[in-house]
Amino acid sequence: MSLWFSITLVAIGASLLLALARAALGPTAFDRVLAVNSIGTLAVLAICVYGFFDGRPEFLDIALLYALINFIGTICVLKYFRAGTLGDHVPPEKQQDAQ
Amino acid sequence: MMVENIVTVIAIFSLSVGALGVLFGALGLLRLGDVYQRMHGAGIIDTGGAGLILFGLLLASPDWTVSVRLVLIGLLLGLTSPTATHAIARAAHFAGVKPLLKTSPDTPIEKGAEE
């Protein structure tokens, strides 16, 4: 069984390299965001499989936390691209323009 | 004894097919031509690869607490990654990224808007 865990780990590592190449190459910013989101998913999978490979499944807690942070980070980056701010501070001159 | 063998074989099969799915999804993420096409590869990683690998680990888990955590991770990934992909597609669309279009087989592929 340990052999199959290590084979899966190698496949996930190769996929991480491919996604990293897309994050470095990607012509638009959205390619990079998509690649970084995939890297996050692959990192969650790699943490899970490594926990089983090492016989310490407590690593799954870290993977759970990483899945949460990955989603929130992607949404934050997209909102920042779109609005230029994370929504907490609107300059006074822009408020007057809106009115 | 026999049942344990069968469960182990199914776990190994799921892990192998999930590893293949992750590899092909990453290959699609690298090789396809457009943001909207690359989302297809990312979707294969998020559903096929992650689902099958987590299912294989679930069959190989030694304890029920580990199984609960694996199911939680699977539910979380299944909820958040389509949402994130949808948000990326919407942001790219409203930022003016044009998809690659091929109207007839004779015309060359029209390049999308860069940035």
Residues of chain A contacting residue B77, judged by C-beta atoms under 8 Å apart:
41, 44, 67
Helices (H) and strands (E) in chain B, counts: 4, 0
Could you give the ipTM of this predicted complex?
Answer: 0.84
State whether residue A15 sits within 8 Å of chain B by CB. yes
- Convert the pLDDT of each residue in B48-86 to its tens digit: 999 999 999 999 988 899 999 999 999 999 999 999 999
What pTM, to 2 d.p., does this model score? Answer: 0.84
pLDDT greater than 70 at residue B111:
no
Number of independent structural domains in chain A? 1
Provide the shortest C-alpha distance from residue B55 to chain A (in Å): 11
- Closest by alpha carbon to B91, among A57, A73, A75? A75
Please indicate whether residue B104 or residue A41 has the higher confidence score (pLDDT): A41
- Convert the pLDDT of each residue in A38-91 to its tens digit: 999 999 999 999 999 998 888 899 999 999 999 999 998 888 887 777 666 666
Residue span of the structural domain in which A70 resides: 2-98
Residues constituting chain B = 115
Task: Please count the other Cβ atoms lying within 10 Å of the Cβ belonging to residue A7.
Answer: 15
Residue A41, both tokens: 């998913």
The answer to whether A71 touches B83, Cβ cutoff 8 Å, is yes
User: How far does chain A reach from its first CA to its final CA, in angstroms?
Assistant: 65
